[in-house]
């Protein structure tokens, strides 16, 4: 029997990047793109390499382009780290695993290095497959933390909880990363929002590869840790946009998200060095009358459009900036 599992790309609607600083966010899953895992029983534990895992290249330029697109390691380190963390979790919780081995294969259609969380999607799908294979239940509120530490502790990837929460819960979720609650319970407060309450959303991502998203947050983290007032106040204001957005959606005021999303991005620019290419993408979308903000850490934007004419205008104008526009499929 082959086990097939899947996890989807995600986009931060409001509140990012406060999620890594005990803030609040609203995120959606973007089912247009996903990572899948195939797993079946075999005599030995075997991880099947994919094309991006190869170490043979046509030339120095082929190697350079491959590293630019896929990073240095492909997906195999993620798979190894995920299997190890799953085993650690079972051991720590006195779950005895049967003596069964498996072969595992991964695939992903999530655009790389544009902040749509392709790495964590692979790990989420892997955990789902391992849970099925070994008949182990991990509480859904705990799973995002396990996925995050797979990346942070095992592989040294800079990562926050938001991406893993929305990829585990799916749909649309409001998250409050209350510091005290996380310290006590190992997770924040996660509330599902009916996606039917959402306004008309578009997502646009840069088809010319952006920077690796894990490298964006370092300076702000240092300033936050040393208690710099501007950073702390700005991140609190960004978190407030998520809280205001949740209230607006629940009260049927989805149109309020237009201004909140714009303000979210403008606040971000106060403390982050946002590349000019990304600012141009946001400004081009706003010039069409749409709202625009980062969907993650750069390379992808999200916003509200009002009608099909505006959506068509976004297709045309953002293509000039090497960006592809899609309507996110949330459920």
Q: Which residues belong to the active site?
A: 163
Give the total residue count for the chain: 331
Interior CA angle at 134 toward 131 and 140, to 5°? Answer: 20
Please state, in angstroms and as integers, the Cα–Cα distance from residue 272 to each residue in 52, 147, 179, 257, following that order.
31, 26, 23, 22
Burial class (CB in 10 A: 0-12, 13-18, 19+), 61: exposed
Q: Report how many helices (DSSP H) and strands (DSSP E) the chain contains, helices first.
A: 11, 10
Please state, in angstroms and as integers, the Cα–Cα distance from residue 318 to each residue in 55, 90, 121, 147, following that order.
35, 47, 26, 34
Distance of CA 218 to the CA centre of its chain: 18
Distance of CA 183 to the CA centre of its chain: 22
Reported as type and span, the H/E element at residue 60 is helix 60-70
Sign of the CA dihedral running 266, 268, 271, 275: negative
């Amino acid at each position: 029997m082959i086990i097939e599992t899947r996890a989807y790309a995600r986009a931060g609607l409001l509140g990012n990047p406060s999620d890594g600083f005990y803030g609040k966010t609203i995120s959606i899953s973007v089912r247009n793109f996903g990572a899948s895992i195939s797993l079946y029983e075999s005599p030995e534990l075997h991880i099947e390499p994919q094309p991006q895992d190869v170490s043979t290249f046509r030339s120095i330029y082929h190697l350079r382009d491959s590293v630019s697109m896929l990073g240095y390691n492909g997906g195999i380190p993620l798979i190894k780290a995920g299997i190890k963390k799953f085993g650690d979790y079972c051991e720590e919780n006195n779950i005895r695993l049967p003596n069964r081995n498996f072969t595992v294969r991964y695939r992903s259609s999530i655009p790389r290095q544009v902040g749509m969380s392709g790495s964590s999607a692979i790990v989420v799908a892997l955990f789902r497959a391992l849970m099925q294979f070994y008949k182990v239940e991990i509480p859904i509120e705990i799973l995002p933390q396990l996925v995050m530490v797979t990346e942070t502790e095992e592989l040294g990837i800079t990562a926050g909880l938001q991406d893993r929460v929305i990829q585990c819960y799916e749909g649309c979720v409001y998250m409050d990363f209350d510091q005290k609650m996380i310290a006590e319970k190992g997770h924040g407060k996660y509330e599902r929002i009916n996606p039917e309450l959402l306004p008309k959303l578009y997502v646009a991502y840069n088809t010319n590869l952006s920077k690796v998203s894990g490298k964006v947050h370092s300076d702000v983290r240092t300033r936050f840790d040393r208690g710099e007032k501007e950073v702390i106040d700005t991140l609190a204001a960004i978190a407030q946009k998520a809280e205001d957005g949740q209230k607006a959606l629940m009260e049927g005021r989805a149109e309020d998200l237009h201004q909140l999303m714009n303000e979210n991005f403008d606040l971000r620019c106060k403390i982050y060095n946002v590349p000019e290419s990304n600012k141009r993408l946001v400004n081009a979308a706003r010039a069409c009358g749409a709202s625009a903000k980062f969907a993650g850490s750069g390379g992808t934007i999200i916003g509200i459009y009002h009608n099909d004419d505006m959506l068509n205008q976004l297709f045309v104008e953002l293509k000039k900036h090497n960006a592809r526009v899609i309507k996110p499929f949330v459920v």
